[in-house]
Structure 1
Amino acid sequence: MTEPAASTRPDKRSVAASFSRAAASYDGVAGLQRTVGDALLARLPADLAPARWLDLGCGTGHFSRVLAARFPRTEGLALDIAEGMLRHARPLGGAAHFVAGDAEHLPLRDASVDLLFSSLALQWCGDFAGVLDGARRVLRPGGYLAFSSLCVGTLQELRDSWQAVDGLVHVNAFRRFEDYQQLCADSGLRLVGLERCAEVLHFPDLRQLTHELKALGAHNLNPGRPGGLTGRARVRALVEAYERQRQPLGLPATYQVVYGILRKA
């Protein structure tokens, strides 16, 4: 089993720049991110008492502050590739140290943390096997990696609607759930749990959905995405295609969320 080709994954500089620009608007539209992060926290062992934890892909630092409240007598680290997110997070506290870094090349010592927590960040990493290798390296024996990510099927309604318009790449690509299964099985970490759960949001119109994606910094970051402005005729065609999927609660946007808990022997 191999990872998706590098050419199909977002460029790290584009990801960092997009999320840096979104730092000020992110928390205002991050309802799904809060729901998923809380669900990941609920999957942690009840007796977990880490001496040192890392919030990997900390964003605005919301879950760094939650972790600090949950484990008040521990040292917390927060890491993100987006400098703009770190500038937003530092004054709000939560972690003892905020570090600019790459999840695929963790700038931490071997066996230096007891909990590596990462919610909705690792889907942007092209080398997920490298992320798992790094987690195994930096975790102490008995330490946990808890992550949530996204897999194929995320924003499928938007993808299908664009396919009906022009067939071009307008929606971010994500790994298959089967890839997560195989990579976790091959990681050298003990798999405690791995599952996929669908979260469906509803929007009054397409404009609200695209506004939220931009405010999160999670709009189309794929290589090969169309450049320039989208013409009015294509936008009308997209709206018409998406409207055919309208439900009583509004236009659906499905997120296929992967939750994983792994432990170092």
Structure 2
Amino acid sequence: MSRKKTIAGAFSAAAATYETAARAQVRAADSLVERLGPTATPLRVLELGCGTGLLTRRLAATLPAGSQILATDLSPVMVQAAGAGLPSVTFAVMDAEAPHVTGPFDLIASSLAAQWFADLPATLARLAGLLAPGGRLLLTTLGAGTFAQWKDAHRALGVESGVPDYPDAPTLAAMLPGARVESLPLTLSYKDARTFLLSLQALGAQTPKPGHRPLSPGQVRRIIKAMGSPCAITWDILLLDYRI
């Protein structure tokens, strides 16, 4: 099975539980809408990785009447979940890395989906090409400091975690010349590291980086014990803002 199908399947399986665990996702969506600020005229909007509609609902409530929102996701089940109760929004199943849309769009938005892209620089360039004159690309993704405590616990035991290699803010900004990137770290408390792992499963976000060799149950238990109870986990949320 391809990695994209694995990712889509994990998120589809989590559609019913996603928002029960989406504390960082809510913060990221709120930060994006806050950065967007007020707009006076209707916008043509493309949303990528809409999930259950956390950002979609916020955009629909914030944007001026007459705005046209096309919300998309790789997971058909997520698209179906997001579409409930939002008749004014158009939904479609779509791979954000191969968008079958022509645009142009006044706003392209995505919240905590870009960390799953196989080729982030190429995708950012492709999306920038879909913007209308004066258009804006706003997205949140995960940065290098994400899950630092979890990774540190692995290193202390001499093993490697499955956390992907996320970029830091300067590296992400360099992927799209002219973009501004800000790090908005959020540290959450969990009962223990097992609860943290269960929250990732509830989000559908448990797919490890490519090539990661799973740890043995014993190794996982030692890491959970080493992290103690409660344990703190940081989500390093990066906010990218690009304007033509």
Q: 2:67: which partner in 1?
A: 74
TM-score computed with the length of structure 1 as normaliser: 0.84
Give 1:110 deviation, angstroms: 4.0
**Structure 2 length-normalised TM:** 0.91
88, 91, 112: which is aligned to 2:84? 91
Q: Percent identity?
A: 31
| Residue equivalent to 2:225 | 240
Give distance in 1, aligned partners of 2:159 and 2:46. Answer: 40
User: Equivalent of 1:103, from 77, 96, 108?
Assistant: 96
Structure 2 Cα separation of the partners of residues 94 and 158 of structure 1: 41
Which residue type is aligned with residue 99 of structure 2?
L
**How far apart are the structure 2 equivalents of 1:198 and 1:98?**
30
Q: Is the 8 A contact 2:24 2:235 kept in 1?
A: no
Asked if 1 retains the 8 angstrom alpha-carbon contact of 2:162 and 2:212, the reply is yes
What is residue 178 of structure 1 aligned with on the other side? 170
Q: Displacement, 1:48?
A: 5.4
Question: Displacement, 1:195?
Answer: 0.9
CA-CA distance at 1:60 after TM superposition: 0.5
Contact 1:148 / 1:258 at 8 angstroms: preserved in 2?
A: yes
Q: Write the distance in 1 (CA, Å) between the matches of 2:207 and 2:43.
A: 38
**Once structures 1 and 2 are overlaid, which stretch shifts more, 131-140 or 252-261?**
131-140
CA–CA distance in 2 between the matches of 1:170 and 1:136?
30
Deviation at 1:11, TM superposition (A): 2.3
What RMSD, in angstroms, separates the aligned Cα atoms of the two structures? Answer: 2.0
Determine which of 45, 61, 74 is the counterpart of 2:53.
61
Structure 1 residues 74 and 129, CA, compared in 2 at 3 Å: closer, same or farther? same
3-state SS of the aligned residue for 1:55?
A: strand
Q: Counterparts of 1:1-265 in structure 2 under 5 Å?
A: 11-47=3-39, 49-71=41-63, 72-93=65-86, 96-111=89-104, 113-185=105-177, 190-191=178-179, 193-227=180-214, 230-231=216-217, 233-243=218-228, 250-264=230-244
Q: Structure 1 residue 28: deviation in Å?
A: 1.0
**CA–CA distance in structure 2, aligned partners of residues 55 and 110 of structure 1:** 12
**Alpha-carbon separation, structure 2, partners of 1:179 and 1:238:** 30
Query: What amino acid is aligned across from residue 176 of structure 1 in structure 2?
Result: D
Gaps of 5+ in 2: none
Separation in 2 of the partners of 1:119 and 1:179? 18
Report how many residues are paired: 242
4+ runs deviating over 6 angstroms = none
Once the two structures are superposed, what CA deviation does each residue of 1:90-133 show, in whole Å capped at 9, x if it has no partner? 2232653211111111111142x111111111111121122222
